Structure 1
Amino acid sequence: MVTTATLATFLVAAIASLFMAWAIGAGSSGSTPFAAAVGANAISVMRAGFVVGLLGFLGAVLQGANVTEAVGTELVANTTLTAPAVIVALLVAATLVALGVFAGYPIATAFTVTGAVVGAGLALGGDPAWAKYREIGALWVLTPFVGGGIAFSTAKFLRDERVPERLAVPFLAGLVGAIVVNINFAILPGPAGSGSITGTVVRLTVGVDPDPTVLLGIRLAATLVLSALVVVALAYEMADDEARGQQRFLLVLGALVAFSAGGSQVGLAIGPLVPLLGDFSVPLPAVLAGGGLGLLAGSWTGAPRMIKALAQDYSSLGPRRSIAAMIPSFAIAQTAVAFGIPVSFNEIIVSAIIGSGYAAVSEEGGGGVSAAKMGYTVLAWLGSLALAFGLSYGVFVLVDRLLLG
């Protein structure tokens, strides 16, 4: 039986979760995706904030389950987060992120939330989930190298005078299309509860799942056909107006990154609530929708100011470097969603921008990216993880003693 005190505690935790969702929406997940398109004058600041909020909400509902469950149940072993632990973790993380938003300094949300949840969970008496930490650590460490490397290679490809942009950009759009048609969405049926566009095409054309080798062949064929359609459509657009084609591709990339941000970042806000849902029979999709609304509110109220600031940086990148930075950002975000790994959009975007920047530096010369600034940024990421862990651990121990006393 749910007591009034238990319900009140859950409501406090839910409010803290919504505050966290708002802070995330107002921060990197709400401002980064369309900054490149705004910088290229493809969309206005206010319209970008409006659209990114809607796309973040859709991403939260359609792709948010994996990261949400991982944050709520897989970061600490041999214990289940209690309502006080959830409240402490969310309030510590949300306060740090909100301070970053108001100060104009982007806090690494995934580092902050992960540190806060682990800190509260260990203070509660749980054990470290080393297997999950290795998985998370691998993605966090590889992101700068993989994301930066892909951005560097993409920027070099776009700058290659032997390959006309009217061919290079549609080719890259086809690669992005191949990823899109193979990622899972909650509204599509599939063996694990969600399915992809190519999986749906296979079921509609074949009816029953064939031999695995045949199934792989059919999915590959469907991927090639669907991505070819994307290539042809954008090539036709760029043949008519090359600049407009690039701008529209940037808009699509911004939309995909915004959608992916909703799918990954919502878990950071509402994941800690997952252990409490069973007591109130609240379905996860409803909580995902609530978290998506929090992201939407943050995007609409706080993101335009940061979009405007970031757009000034992106305008100096130019459309080619912006495209080169956005493609790996989308791919890495979707990888994190698929494996249920909390990931920082600040880390993804910064790494991709640095990678695309080095492509220009290697050809034109110049000072490039400041090594000192890169070092300070990495220290800030690690510092946010350590600070959130220490504060959450200490605050929960203090609260626990006060409650027991």
Structure 2
Amino acid sequence: MVDPATLGTAVVAALASLFMAWAIGAGSSGSTPFAPAVGANAISVMRAGLIVGVLGFAGAVLQGQSVTEAVGSDLIVGVSISAMAATVGLLTAAILVALGVFKGYPIATAFTVTGAVVGVGLAMGGEPAWGKYQQIVTLWVLTPFIGGGIAYATARLLRSDRAPERLLVPGLAGLVGAIVANIQFALLGPPDEGGSIAGEAAQALGGGGLPSRGVATLALAAVVVAVVAADARRDEDGAQRRFLLALGGLVAFSAGGSQVGLAIGPLVPLLDTFQSIPVFALLFGGGVGLLAGSWTGAPRMIKALSQDYSSLGPRRSIAALIPSFAIAQVAVAFGIPVSFNEIIVSAIVGSGYAAGGAGVSRRKMLFTVLAWIGSLALSLLVSYGVMAGIEAL
């Protein structure tokens, strides 16, 4: 039986996790997915906040387990995060993220949570997980260059006269369809592993190998190309806008799958004590927190991202969302905590430079990067100091 003190601390940790989920929903996962679409006037700010909340909740439940387990178990070696440590880490990170929301600066949530978890873990006597840190830092460093570079190249392609948009947009939609075909969903495949649409289709056709999955992937991509091409023939501008909104929805879903782990990951070690609580319950609760944050706090950050970083049209918005979606799914697949603010801001700036830097605020970007670095260092130092003080008492 769990003693009352441990139970009380666990309840406080759960409340801190819910606050963290709200802060993420209001800031990172709630604001970034539809910011380019809002900037392109394809959807209103309030409607974007409502839709992204629902899709983020779905992503949290269906894709959130890998990042959740990584944040909870893979950042520190030799110790298990206690309920008190989870509370300290989550409150430290949530306060910093919430301050960013209220000030209009998108704090990199993954930086903040990772720093806080590492800080409390080190204060408890744990050892750094250098192998995992190498994976994380590699993705963090490459994201601005890969995301911004792909967004720049895609925006330049859409602006050029070498190929008409009625061919380029369906082609890009087919590429996105191929990625969707290989996303791992919790409801597909064997228990505790998940599966992809392409994998399940290959199994249904009698083959589960790479060639069969490749055929299924190409088939789904071809269907997407045909549908978007037919839509473009009827209404080219409308098809472009609908594709942009579909991309925003996919990014919102991916944000939920990636970001929920930052909120509930520190609670995973507590499941050893409370064995009757399944991981799904944590994912569901975290998804509810993301939903609440998206509905109540995201509009402010959506406005900041859509208007303050770069003036985006539909083409540059599409160019920004495609690499954002792809990078997010890579992070989910490898269980790496990644900041959606870093992903989307890099892509927005890259697509903005495709038009000669039109509307890109360099001053805003400088302060944002400083906020990212500062939040990582501050969260690590504060959480370490507070937890070390508690351990000394």
TM-score (norm 1): 0.93
Matched, 1:389 2:389: no
Matches within 5 A, 1:3-402: 3-190=3-190, 193-206=193-206, 209=208, 215-281=209-275, 282-313=277-308, 316-361=311-356, 369=360, 373-402=364-393
The residue type paired with residue 59 of structure 1 is: G
Contact 1:40 1:315 in 2 (8 A): no
In structure 1, give the amino acid aligned to 2:6: T
CA distance in 2, matches of 1:250, 1:266: 24
Secondary structure at the residue paired with 1:316?
coil
Gap regions ≥5 residues in structure 1: 210-214
The amino acid of 1:345's aligned partner reads: F
Shift of the 17–326 alpha-carbon distance from structure 1 to 2, 3 Å rule, reads same
How far apart, CA to CA, are the structure 1 residues paired with 2:203 and 2:152?
Answer: 38
Contact 1:36 1:314 in 2 (8 A): no
Mean CA deviation greater in 297-306 or 225-234: 297-306
Give yes or no for contact 2:309–2:359 (8 Å, CA) kept in 1: no
CA contact (8 A) 1:190 1:199 kept: no
Letter in 1 for 2:387: F
Secondary structure of residue in 2 paired with 1:183: coil
Task: Name the CA shift for 1:342/1:30 in 2 (closer, same or farther; >3 Å).
Answer: same
Q: Distance in 2 between matches of 1:102 and 1:378?
A: 17
Q: What is the one-letter code of the residue matched to 2:281?
A: A
Deviations 1:38-88 (A, max 9, x none): 233322222211111010000000000000000000000111111111110
Relative to structure 1, the CA distance from residue 393 to residue 314 in structure 2 (aligned partners, 3 Å threshold; closer, same or farther) is closer
Does residue 33 of structure 2 align to residue 2 of structure 1?
Answer: no
Size of the aligned set, in residue pairs, is 392
User: 1:127-179: CA deviations, max 9, x gaps?
Assistant: 00000000000000110111111111111111120210111011000000000
Structure 1: distance between partners of 2:186 and 2:316: 32
Does the 8 Å CA contact 2:310/2:358 hold for their aligned counterparts? Answer: no
Q: Identify the range of structure 1 (374-383 vs 142-151) with the bigger mean alpha-carbon deviation.
A: 374-383
Structure 2 runs not aligned, ≥5 long: none
Give the % identical residues.
Answer: 70
Q: Is the 8 A contact 1:257 1:329 kept in 2?
A: yes
State the Cα distance separating 1:192 from its structure 2 match.
6.0
Given residue 30 of structure 1, which amino acid in structure 2 is its aligned partner? G
Post-superposition offset of 1:346 = 1.1
> How far is the alpha carbon of 1:354 from its aligned partner?
1.7
Do the aligned partners of 2:188 and 2:195 also contact (CA within 8 Å) in 1?
A: yes
Q: CA deviation at 1:371?
A: 5.5
Name whichever of 6-15 and 367-376 sits farther off. 367-376
C-alpha distance in structure 2 between counterparts of 1:341 and 1:184, whole Å:
15
